[in-house]
Structure 1
Amino acid sequence: MSNTRPHTVTADWLYEQFGDEDLVIVDTTVHLTMPPEGSVHIDPGLDTYLEAHIPDAVYADLFTDFSDHRAPMPFTAASSERFAAAAGAVGIGQGRRVVLYDQGNGMWAARLWWQLRLDGFDDVAVLDGGLSVWRADGYPVAEGQVVPHAAMFVPRRRPEMLCSAESIAAALDDPRILIIDARDPATGRGDNPSYPRRGHIPGSVTIAYGDLVDLETGRLRPTDELRAVFEEAGALDPEVSPVTYSGGGIAATGVAHALAVVGRTDVAVYCGSLDEWAGADSLPSVEGPEPR
């Protein structure tokens, strides 16, 4: 999929592709709220998709269909077999080109982008700015459900793109591994009332996904600005291997996607992230100041 920015496409580019029978556009929207007084509430986002979506876009339920519900963490990546069934059901498979978007800041689209690449599918990009930019640029939206044209998805898992708690724990003192916290520093300090879990994995550095996105448009910041952020944190050093994590493993994939945009495609994601890490008594966690 050719584009001036790897792993992303613009609204103009996408509109020009309309009519391509091999193009699959996928709305990945999830609404996640974390009220201070209660537990996390997950709304798959189907209702907002039905109200307005990019014409011909199908909907992918990341929570119900693309996650492993036997795992204790709600968004644990599905097995290759489960993922292949879910991807094929929404029309993703051999010979298809895929563009993902969401109705937020691109984090959920980045999540499915990472999962597709985890299982060996590379002809996928994220619509920069998602539905909000699509609409702001004057392009049409549609209502109702689009029925997918099912495809055969053959998974080819890349285990090096997925980290476990055990592999992270074994790498804590390894200078060749750069552990990246994708949450904002306030959350790590425990200052975010919507996410009371505080602390961070020892030795991690902060590259907050929210700092990589233009808050007004939802677009990723320009490539040169992204590169400067990553260089300062050491994430572009060819001698280290970056691993990202967040609260539940979603923002972590956003940072991994942004790193791919600037050419770093070998980033691994700790899927269980701090939700899993902090819940295990055997794993060290540091509270207080943000990571270095």
Structure 2
Amino acid sequence: MFTTLISAAELAARAAGSVVLIDCRHQLTDTDYGRRAYAAGHVPGAHFLHLDEDLSGPRTGDNGRHPLPDVGRLALTLGALGIGPETQVVAYDDAGGMFAARAWWLLRWLGHEAVAVLDGGVQAWQAAGGALDAITPARGHGGFLLRPTLEATLNADQLLALLTTPTLRLIDARAANRFAGQDETLDPVGGHIPGARNRFFQLNLDADGRFKPAAALRAEWLACLDGQPAGAAIHQCGSGVTACHNLLALAHAGLGGGRLYPGSWSEWCANPARPVATGA
């Protein structure tokens, strides 16, 4: 069973039909990109799930840009892909796992342990000699089993109550300029949650777009956590998507267990009563 990452070679070695593949390709500034990319060519047998429509819930204006989907609705969607209680699921994208990590986290949120991200994404698949096709597999009826969650969350009020805790480790996965309140183009307010530390999710990757070795990630993350246990950390980003990448990196490094603040900065800054910090 693969529970964090799977290489292209390991995926290719799996027997046909033994894995359910989820194509998570997306671009925040071109929300139809994933559909076009999937139609042009995808890993054979893969199903496409859209970040906004399948892997997020409805927006209300104050619950962030990518609120968590309804549990029952997501379970039906996953079941229709043929995901049963013991099915190995592999999610991939073409952005270093930026969006595939969201699918990984969501399946774990619903209690499904056998889910991994294709390390290096579609590029690694093709570099290893893997073909793409444009055939859309049939969908069926659900058999997805909801089980106790494997991932923990907290809401904005719970986080607000913790901001003055001296041992708080709140990790923001956005790029340094957005964390500092500069060049903000996705949300109406620039800055970060007071007390947060910045750990850009792309620091989890090597230059080839694959995750760094587990030992290297472990050392980097222990320095970032600065003496606090990984399980006590809280993770956020702009909208609850790339924070999942940091959680995946921690799990790969053997340091899992942190909580996700799903609403993240886009929810936090929607309420002007919540405090905002700027600068590095």
1:188/1:7 CA distance change after superposition, 3 Å = same
Residue in structure 1 matched with residue 86 of structure 2 by the alignment: 95
Decide whether the 8 Å contact of 1:171 with 1:177 is kept in 2. Answer: yes
Correspondence for 2:18: 22
Q: Which whole-Å CA distance do the structure 2 matches of 1:160 and 1:54 have between them?
A: 28
Displacement after TM superposition at 1:240 (Å): 5.9
Size of the aligned set, in residue pairs, is 277
Q: Is the 8 A contact 1:44 1:63 kept in 2?
A: no
TM-score (norm 1): 0.88
The structural deviation recorded for 1:156 is 3.0
Cα distance, 1:227 vs structure 2: 1.3
**CA distance, structure 2, for counterparts of residue 204 and residue 168 of structure 1:** 11
* Residue segments in structure 1 that go unaligned for 5+ positions in a row: 34-40
Tell me if the contact between 1:132 and 1:217 (Cα under 8 Å) persists in the aligned partners: no
Supply the distance in 2 between the matched residues of 1:228 and 1:98 (Cα, whole angstroms). Answer: 28
How many Å separate the matches in 2 of 1:154 and 1:44? Answer: 31
Equivalence for 1:260: 251
What amino acid is the match of 1:61? H
Following the alignment from structure 2 to structure 1, what is the Cα–Cα distance between the partners of residues 56 and 5? 24
- Distance in 2, matches of 1:159 and 1:170, equals 24
Aligned to 1:32, the other structure's residue is in SS state coil
Q: Secondary structure at the match of 2:136?
A: coil
> For residues 96 and 193 of structure 2, what CA distance do their matches in structure 1 show?
25
Q: Do residues 173 (structure 1) and 173 (structure 2) align?
A: no
Question: Secondary structure of 1:219's match?
Answer: coil
Once residues 237 and 275 of structure 1 are traced to their aligned partners in structure 2, the CA distance between those partners, rounded to angstroms, is 26
Q: Aligned pair in 2 of structure 1 residues 239, 45: CA closer, same or farther (>3 Å)? A: closer
Distance 1:168 1:154 in 2: 30
Task: Confirm or deny: 8 A CA contact 2:77 2:142 kept in the other structure.
Answer: no
* Mapped partners of 1:164, 1:173: distance in 2: 16
Residues in 1 aligned to 2:68 and 2:262: alpha-carbon distance in whole angstroms: 7
Q: Give aligned-pair identity as a percent.
A: 31
In 2: Cα distance, 1:86 partner to 1:205 partner = 35
Residues in 1 aligned to 2:113 and 2:83: alpha-carbon distance in whole angstroms:
11
- Corresponding residue for 1:62? 51
Matched position secondary structure for 1:98: strand
- Kindly provide the CA deviation profile for residues 79-119 of structure 1, in whole angstroms up to 9, marking residues without a partner as x: 21111111112222212110110122211100010011111
Secondary structure at the counterpart of residue 25 of structure 1? strand
Task: Give the AA of the match of 2:57.
Answer: D
Could you give the per-residue CA deviations for residues 16-44 of structure 1, whole angstroms, max 9, x where no partner exists? 0032x3311111111211xxxxxxx5336
The one-letter code matched in structure 1 to 2:8 is A
Matched, 1:202 2:194: yes
- Tell me the residue number matched to 1:46: 35
Backbone CA RMSD of aligned residues = 2.1
Alpha-carbon contact 1:165-1:272 (below 8 Å) kept: yes
Indicate if the aligned counterparts of 2:4 and 2:251 stay in contact, CA closer than 8 A.
Answer: yes
Aligned with residue 13 of structure 1, among 10, 13, 19: 10
